[in-house]
A and B are shown apart, each in its own frame.
Chain A
Amino acid sequence: MTSSTRTASSTPTAPRVAPGPGGAAPAAGRRRPIAWAWLPAHALAWVYAAMLTVPLYYFLVSAFKTNDEIFSDPLGLPSSLSLDKFSTALHGARLELAVANSALVTFSALVLTLCLAVPAAFAIARSRSRWAAVTERVFGLGFLVPTFAALLPTFLMSAYSGLFHTRLFIVLLLPATAMPLSVIILTQFMRTIPPEMEEAARIDGATTFGVLRHVYAPMAMPGIATVLLLNFLNFWNEYLYSLIIIGPDQAQRTIQVALPTLRSTAGTDYGVLTAGTVLTLVPVWIAYTLLQRRMQQALVSGAVKL
Chain B
Amino acid sequence: MSVVATAPSRPRAGAGQDRVRQDRTGRPRATGTLLALPALVWYLLFTLGPLLAMVWISALKWPGMLQPTSFAGLDNFRYVLSDPLFWDAARNTGVQLLVALPLMVLPAYMLGYYVSRRPRGHHILRYLLFVPGLISAPTKAMLFYAVLSPDGVVNGALKSLGLGGLAHVWLADSATALASIIAIDVWSGIGFTAVLFAARLGAVPEEIGEAASLDGAGHWRRMWRIHFPVIRDYVGVVTMLQFLWTLFGSAQLVLLLTQGGPGSASTTLSFLVYQKAFIQADLGYSQAVGVLLFAVGLVGMLAIRRALRQNY
Contact = CB atoms under 8 A, between A and B. Distances in A.
Given A74-B152, A146-B294, A179-B43, A122 B50 contact: no
Contacts of A166: none
Interface in A217-257: 233, 236-240, 244, 256-257
Contacts of B17: 129
A152 B290 contact: yes
Contacts of B114: 41, 45
Given A26-B117, A128-B20, A150 B53 contact: yes
B50 A138 contact: no
Contacts of B146: 58-59, 62, 270, 273-274
A162 interface: no
Contacts of A197: none
Nearest to A285: B134
Given A138-B5, A280-B139, A8 B46 contact: no
Interface string B238-279: 100100100011011001100000000000001001100110
Interface string B118-151: 1101001111111111111111011111110101
Interface stretch (B80-88, B92-100, B203-211): B203-211
A41 B121 CA distance: 13
A27 B128 contact: no
B298 interface: yes
A42 B111 CA distance: 10
Nearest to A117: B39
B226 A4 contact: yes
Contact of A130 (B9, B132, B248, B283): B9
A149 B294 contact: yes
Chain B interface mostly = helix
Contacts of A53: 128
Nearest to B312: A5
Interface of B: 5-6, 9-10, 12-13, 15-17, 19-20, 23-25, 27, 29, 31-36, 38-40, 42-51, 53-54, 57, 65, 107, 110-111, 114-115, 117-119, 121, 124-139, 141-147, 149, 151-153, 156, 187, 190-192, 195-196, 199-200, 205-215, 218-219, 225-226, 229-230, 234, 237-238, 241, 244, 248-249, 251-252, 255-256, 270, 273-274, 277-278, 283, 286-287, 290, 293-294, 297-298, 301, 311-312
10 contacts: A41-B119, A46-B125, A120-B35, A120-B38, A132-B13, A132-B36, A138-B40, A149-B273, A259-B139, A303-B241
